[in-house]
Amino acid sequence: MRIPCPICGPRGHEEFVCHGEAGGARPAADSAVAPDAVDAMRAFHDYVYLRANPLGTQRELWYHAAGCECWLLVERDTRNHAIGAVRALRPPADGEAGGAP
Amino acid sequence: MRYSIFSLLAQAATGHRGWPPMWRNPEPRRAYEAIVVGGGGHGLATAYYLARKHGLTDVAVLEKGWIGGGNVGRNTTIIRSNYLLPGNIPFYEHSLKLWEGLERDINYNAMVSQRGVLNLFHSDAQRDAFVRRGNAMRVHGVDAVLLDARELRRLAPFLEMDDARFPIRGALLQPRGGTVRHDAVAWGYARAADRLGVDVIQNCEVTGIRVERGAVTGVESSRGFIAARRVGLACAGHSSRVAAMAGLRLPIESHVLQAFVSEAIKPLIPGVITYGAGHFYVSQSDKGGLVFGGDIDGYNSYAQRGNLATVEDVVEGGLAMMPSLGRLRLLRSWGGVMDMSMDGSPIIDRTEVEGLYLNAGWCYGGFKATPASGWCFAHLLATGGSHPLAAAYRLDRFLSGELIDEKGQGPHPNRH
Ligand SMILES: Cc1cc2nc3c(=O)[nH]c(=O)nc-3n(C[C@H](O)[C@H](O)[C@H](O)COP(=O)(O)OP(=O)(O)OC[C@H]3O[C@@H](n4cnc5c(N)ncnc54)[C@H](O)[C@@H]3O)c2cc1C
Ligand SMILES: [Zn+2]
């Protein structure tokens, strides 16, 4: 499997760290102290633990550890490992939480 | 037909032309008391124990392909119960005990071979960890022996003991661990369940789960609708897909694990050996091939094949442990798609849909669990309550925080 890194060009996937499924907005940081905290628990549980695990195209995060050290958003087919669109994510601005788009 | 020395002699005398098929090939009926989706080891064992232990024989196992085509026929056949955490040890030890009596129970030669499992250690810290694990096992009545380098060298003289970077200092041995012929487990359970009246239905893919007012009423399949008020899912590797048919999202990712077998050689490896400085494990099949494997590939996959980077990584681990491996040619390699759960431990539980039960998340270690998984899942399907041995394998443990994370890796399935 080769991932066409927009910065480094096509590189073997062993240079990257796979962080799995992208997407799913992180629940707001203050939701844990909201009055309906049980729902906040569930929201965080769903965010941290549940996965769509699709058969077919998945949007996922890969970190180019042995290259440019950029986080990439990669579209990949889980049936045959074919890689589609790849784009580099911008680094979070100062004071802004990073994480999945 | 019951297998025995007499049936074997009678068949031998007549050129082995009279063996009947091992199970019927029934058409699905319109309704069953219980349906098990997935005819792998776990689904078949579940059906067998439903019939034998709970007297429930109006049961169908629906398998989309053929019996033995999934992970039950793709794994590296290792069985053991050398776990550390309380939720795990009694369950896996029960499984090992069931393996010990399995062949007599199902009247089938599964080649259960308790030739011992050796976990190598390479440093003082790793030795301490294994002492702790061994003690945890012994507290639970499981066999565990700590070997120093001298004792180990006697058992396995081909190991690279004095590697400069990762010298081997000793091993934790579970003498009762070993290997089992994996295909025979699938066939043996299928035949035993069939003999008790269970319908084992191949080429029958479940394509939908019918739910009415929060309760399951049956499944849509490639061979039509089949009604049942109890449906158990045992679809290792495809659990997310099948559970999604009932609107469930699971704490699971599907990943591919590869395995390898070398050309056959004379007996070399006494039992199962696992490397401690990398992920590599090896045993020798009765045919003589060395069967080995290592890490999962590390990205979501439903393809039953992996990539070359993992092949290189596995073989490097093997060569570091026993350089003589380099003289062998690789005969075959293959992959299997597994459910990787968020804490590396399985799920045997009810779901929010009444009558729908889940057996999933076995990661790369579910073969050894086959008998106990079937035992406990049958209990759940028959009684509606968790079996005490599987009480920790709850679906809601990720919400309650009662995770069973043997490796302490957190919610990153590709690191378990
Ligand atoms: C390469 C490899 C090596 C391994 N080595 C070991 C080992 O040494 N020791 C160990 O303990 N474990 C090992 N494992 C793990 C072990 O094989 C699995 O955890 C275990 O086999 C899973 O349970 P099963 O036998 O029921 O799975 P499977 O045999 O995969 O059964 C699941 C069945 O469900 C069917 N199915 C899926 N979707 C549907 C549908 N919609 N309708 C109908 N049927 C469906 C599939 O076709 C499949 O036959 C290994 C796994 C792999 C891949
Ligand atoms: Zn790059």
Q: Which domains does chain A have, with CATH numbers?
A: 2-23+32-88 (3.30.2270.10)
Of A22-26, B96-100, B354-358, the one with minimum mean pLDDT is A22-26
Cα separation of A34 and B90, whole Å? 40
Residues B362, B336, single domain; the answer is no
Q: What mean pLDDT is reported for chain A?
A: 86
When pLDDT is cut at 50, 70 and 90, the band that residue A41 belongs to is confident
pLDDT at A100: 43
Find out whether the beta carbon of B259 lies less than 6 Å from any atom of ligand 1: yes
Of A34-38, B243-247, B300-304, B306-310, the one with minimum mean pLDDT is A34-38
Residues B329, B265, single domain; the answer is yes
Identify whether B12 is part of a domain.
no
Closest CA to B251 of B260, B259, B243: B243
Identify whether B118 is part of a domain.
yes
Query: Which ligand ends up closest to the CA of B236?
Result: 1
pLDDT at B15: 96
pLDDT at A35: 62
Cα separation of B316 and B334, whole Å? 18
Residues B262, B155, single domain; the answer is yes
Q: What mean pLDDT is reported for chain B?
A: 97
pLDDT at A85: 97
Residues B198, B241, single domain; the answer is yes
Point out which residues pair with B109 in neighbouring strands: none
> What does the pLDDT look like over B54-102, one tens digit per residue?
999 999 999 999 999 999 999 999 999 999 999 999 999 999 999 999 9
Residues B135, B258, single domain; the answer is yes
CB of A2 within 8 Å of any CB in chain B?
no
Instruction: Classify residue B81 as exposed, middle or buried by CB count within 10 Å of its CB (0-12, 13-18, 19+).
Output: buried
Residues B171, B306, single domain; the answer is yes
Point out which residues pair with B289 in neighbouring strands: B264
What total of structural domains would you count in chain B? 2
Task: Compute the average pLDDT of residues B264-271.
Answer: 96
pLDDT at A23: 78
pLDDT at A26: 84
> What does the pLDDT look like over B317-349, one tens digit per residue?
999 999 999 999 999 999 999 999 999 999 999
Identify whether B14 is part of a domain.
no
Cβ distance A60 to B299 less than 8 Å, yes or no, reads yes
Identify whether B8 is part of a domain.
no
**% chain B with pLDDT above 70:** 100
> What does the pLDDT look like over A47-75, one tens digit per residue?
999 999 999 999 999 999 999 999 999 99
Cα separation of B47 and B39, whole Å? 9
Could you tell me the CA-to-CA distances from B27 to A27, B44, B61, B75 in Å, in that order? 49, 17, 12, 30
Residues B35, B73, single domain; the answer is yes
CB of A38 within 8 Å of any CB in chain B?
no
| Eight-class DSSP state of B55 | -
Identify whether B18 is part of a domain.
no
CB of B334 within 8 Å of any CB in chain A?
no
Residues B359, B283, single domain; the answer is no
Task: Compute the average pLDDT of residues B151-180.
Answer: 97
Residues B202, B311, single domain; the answer is no
Residues B278, B170, single domain; the answer is yes
Residues B196, B308, single domain; the answer is no
Q: What's B386's domain CATH number? A: 3.50.50.60
pLDDT at A94: 57
A–B: how many Cβ contacts below 8 A? 67
Residues B190, B66, single domain; the answer is yes
Of B341, B368, B398, the residue that ends a domain is: B341
Q: Which residues of B61-78 are buried (b: 16+ CB within 10 A; e: fewer)?
A: bbbbeebbbbbbbbbbbb
pLDDT at B361 over 80: yes
pLDDT at A98: 45
Residue range(s) defining the domain that contains residue B295: 112-176+254-341
pLDDT at A96 over 60: no
pLDDT at A31 over 80: no
